Chains A and B, each alone.
Chain A
Amino acid sequence: MMNSNNKKFLQKFSKDYNNIIKELYEKNMIRDSKMHSVLENDKIVEISRSGRENESNILYDKHLPIEKVMDTLLERKEYNILLYDRSIIQYEFIIEDGKIIKERLIFLKKHNYLWSKEEIIDKDMYNFEIDWFEEELGIPVVIRVDYDINNHIDIVHPITHMTISNYDECRIPMMGSLSLYNFINFILNFFYNDSLNFKSNFEENDITITENEKKRVHFEWM
């Protein structure tokens, strides 16, 4: 039997997920989506990508150009949500007794340019022989949010932190774990001038930031 708190968490998570997907489809923002897999044992629930391969670690390889990283992830369909401009969203959560004990959220966008959906459709339709995604140059956006309660070192390795690019030492403290809803909204707000219109089923934030970490520049939200 699944732990009842885990069950509650999953129910809320699924509702949020369905609403997110619905809204993104309504906005025509999704190119492809892959339903996450849910792995349960008596205490722990793991929410991950179906068909996840270890090659996704390619993201942490510092010697590869973005083209190679993107191509590999796309080729292997290593995403949960693929946005209309082929930006990748990945998420993984480990839940224990209804609480997140580990999470990893990733947003990967190859170009530092916002094309409208119409522009992309136009490129896809009429010049599809020459792949716009491959040919257009740009500076990539790579954002990773990690939550790891077991490896906390005050200031140096905050429980929840954001890493920009794949620069190891960059761990900007965050107030607490970020729900999928908040992560997607964050991406929509700051990269697509948009936001989700429904209300999340998760109401409380799980605060993990320490007083020392608060003294430095950090992320905080309501």
Chain B
Amino acid sequence: MLNISGNTENVEKKDIIESIINIFNEKEDIYGDAYIGYPLYSIEYTSDQLICDLAIVSNYGFFVINIIDTEILNYGKIQDELYNKIESKLKRCSFLVKRRQLSFSINVCSYSLIEMEKIDDYPIFISIEDINKYINDTLENIDNQKVDMISSGLQEAQGLNKKNYHENARDGSKALLIDEMNDIIEKHDCNQMNAIMEDPIGIQRIRGMAGSGKTVVLARKAVELHTVHPEWTIVVTYYTRTLKNQLYNLIDKFYMTRNDGRHPDFNKLKIMHAWGSSSSDGLYYDICKNMEIQSYTFYQAKRKYPLASRPFDLLCAEVLDCGKEFVKLYDCILIDEAQDFNDSFLKLCCKVLGSENRLVYAYDELQRLNELSMDSPEKIFGFNISKDTPLVTCYRNQSRVIVTAHALGMGLYREEGMIQIPNSTDVWQSIGYKNDENIVEGLPVTLYRDRSTSPDFLNADPNDLIKIEKFDDSDQVYNKLLQSIKANIVNDSLNPNDIMIIDLDGINASNNLSKIQLLINSNFDEYGDIHIHQAGSTNPEDFFRNDSIVYSTIFRAKGNEAYYVYILNAQRCIETLSRTKDRNALFTAITRSKGWVRVYGYGSSMEKLCFEFDKVKENDYKLFFKKYPTEEDRKKMVILNKDISKDDSEALTNTKKYIDENQGNMEILLKELFGEEYKRRLRDFVVDDEQ
């Protein structure tokens, strides 16, 4: 079956297109893609866009079909234009050219719904039988790999991946494996193409898991819209500030590829933070300015709503309720990582888009494993939307890595029982899991991933992808980290920016990094060439550096990815008072990896994590539920694993501080906490623990 991207509103054309696609689908071992209504631009000829009604790239040949439904003078001219534009695009891909010529034919023909005068050498058909005959007479054998290459050329998808080739990489090194992976032909899958090409009138939702290409799709969509409508004001917005450079680079690169090297007009295609800061524009500030209402900076908002954990939500709600009439300020708004916002921001965006409501939002469906990240569109906007694309294929993580992340994140194999599970069974399918039998609550269920949703482009030893190791203490962990990084540089030929270190020890992360720096300094001959910097040292955008390895907390690591990920202090996620939050952190940390993951920790908690990982391996990297939790089980799970409240957590911190400061009064303090029998209680506790 051909993968189909795009759509047409024209019913007559639609019928013909379906019939032509069927001609191909009936062929043996058909492989390839069909593009419906694919727009082509090229200023070499004209700045107008030319719509290609149907392009079929298949192992039976490359066909471009123009469908005529109104009287035109010279259909041959359209065929010429289609041919020239497609040829000039494909010729830019060196992998498609042999001796200055394309290494395959572009077969352009027309199908007419009305009577037309035939022009010599320009094939035109008025019946399916005729076009079927033409196709069969013109067939060309193209191998599947080349089919993908042609599709990539037609999509102009080159440059999707950041290519950082490793010069002087040693034979058999990990760096070479990375380079090989990056050489794989870059192509949008048909879900991504559909999300890009979807008609933008009305609200569009793009959802998928981490690494499914949401940001890429959003950036490309912004570029398509800006190309067709350069006069539109389009806003691309986000909340995580490290995303800014990524969005900017993607948009610039895609636009240049699509538009013969020209840069986008960033006055019309605006990339701005949702809130903004004192030095940079933000969407919220811009809306307030245009509506002539007061806007608040972060600190003003904190003063106004001192108890709110996210004052931004309240600011947006305030604008919504300001009583002023909303006018159209922008033609289209695209929101990345929309799960970072609550409803009020999305509603606010909708209000300033006029009646067309061109709002596109992309979000991570399962950022936390215990709840869906966003409400249904109906709940957010008060009406349902028809444009909804799930991106089911995960390109970032290797399948073993992602399954491990889900298993550990849920605590699936935890001896004391699971910690959390998504509250809907449908979600598994939309993030690319397969199940041979229906998921029935209370019965055994096995979920797994296959190549269709986890293509595993990295040709690495699967047993080496993820390792979880337990050490005696933090010193051992840091020593192991440095030894391992040294090996990454020397043996694996990796660059510092291929590596990311994530410390799950939250508040102590920067002190831990100081300890590592001291260790480097005291072993300067051995580790002197290892440079590590704290994420966000100089500014919020400071993450990867060419000459230094990034050391990050989980908060800052969100939205970033690296080939080799070290996770430190994983023991902190196991026996804690905020189990769900901490397990989610571990899940997010593991899913930062495009290749390898090493999870390090120490103490008895780490033993438990190793046990869970052993079970993941025993189950052959599948999610095996002995008994898929029922509604009742889920409710119990939620109650059992409720995270400690903010107030309690603060009380605990204060108690710790108090104890530290009052070491001299320890006995009185213990009596106060545990009563007169404090010695017995403490003794019982110690004996219990030792047993």
Chain B contact-residue range equals 20 to 34
Determine if A203 is an interface residue (Cβ-Cβ < 8 Å).
no
Determine if A129 is an interface residue (Cβ-Cβ < 8 Å).
yes
Determine if A136 is an interface residue (Cβ-Cβ < 8 Å).
yes
The answer to whether B539 and A71 have CB atoms under 8 Å apart is yes
Determine if B668 is an interface residue (Cβ-Cβ < 8 Å).
no
| Chain A contacts for B533, CB-based, 8 A | 32
Q: Give the complex CA separation of A33 and B518 in angstroms.
A: 12
Determine if B521 is an interface residue (Cβ-Cβ < 8 Å).
yes
The answer to whether B518 and A22 have CB atoms under 8 Å apart is yes
How many positions in chain A have a CB within 8 Å of any CB in the partner chain?
31
Partner of B510, one of A75, A121, A134: A121
| Chain A contacts for B506, CB-based, 8 A | 125
Q: Give the complex CA separation of A25 and B510 in angstroms.
A: 10
Q: Give the complex CA separation of A135 and B506 in angstroms.
A: 23
The answer to whether B510 and A129 have CB atoms under 8 Å apart is no
Q: Give the complex CA separation of A66 and B607 in angstroms.
A: 51
Interface residues of B in 506-524 (CB under 8 A from A): 506-507, 510-511, 514, 517-518, 521-522
The answer to whether A25 and B514 have CB atoms under 8 Å apart is yes
Binding-face segment, B171-179, B272-280, B380-388, B458-466: B272-280
The answer to whether A125 and B507 have CB atoms under 8 Å apart is yes
Interface residues of A in 119-142 (CB under 8 A from B): 121-122, 124-125, 127-131, 133-136
| Chain B contacts for A55, CB-based, 8 A | none
Report A88 CB to chain B, min CB distance, Å.
10
CB-CB under 8 A for A135 and B297, given A31-B537, A130-B275: yes
The answer to whether A129 and B278 have CB atoms under 8 Å apart is no
| Chain A contacts for B537, CB-based, 8 A | 31-32, 82, 86
The answer to whether A124 and B241 have CB atoms under 8 Å apart is no
Q: Give the complex CA separation of A74 and B518 in angstroms.
A: 23
CB-CB under 8 A for A125 and B277, given A30-B514, A86-B538: no
Q: Give the complex CA separation of A18 and B523 in angstroms.
A: 12
In the complex, which of the residues B279, B507, B537, B556 has the most CB atoms of chain A within 10 Å of its own CB atom?
Answer: B537
Residue of A nearest to B241 (CB): A129
The answer to whether A134 and B279 have CB atoms under 8 Å apart is yes
| Chain A contacts for B275, CB-based, 8 A | 130
The answer to whether B518 and A26 have CB atoms under 8 Å apart is yes
The answer to whether A18 and B555 have CB atoms under 8 Å apart is no
The answer to whether B538 and A77 have CB atoms under 8 Å apart is yes
Chain A window 26-58, contacts with chain B (Cβ cutoff 8 Å), 1 for yes, 0 for no? 101011110000000000000000000000000
Q: Could you list 11 examples of A-B contacts with CB < 8 Å?
A: A22-B521, A25-B514, A28-B511, A31-B534, A128-B536, A128-B540, A131-B277, A131-B540, A134-B277, A134-B278, A135-B278
A-to-B contact residues, CB < 8 Å: 18, 21-22, 25-26, 28, 30-33, 67, 71, 74-75, 77, 82, 84, 86, 121-122, 124-125, 127-131, 133-136
B-to-A contact residues, CB < 8 Å: 239-241, 275, 277-279, 297-299, 506-507, 510-511, 514, 517-518, 521-522, 533-534, 536-540, 542, 553, 555-556
Q: With A28-B514, A74-B538, A86-B537 given, name 6 new contacts (CB 8 A).
A: A22-B522, A74-B539, A82-B537, A86-B538, A121-B510, A134-B278
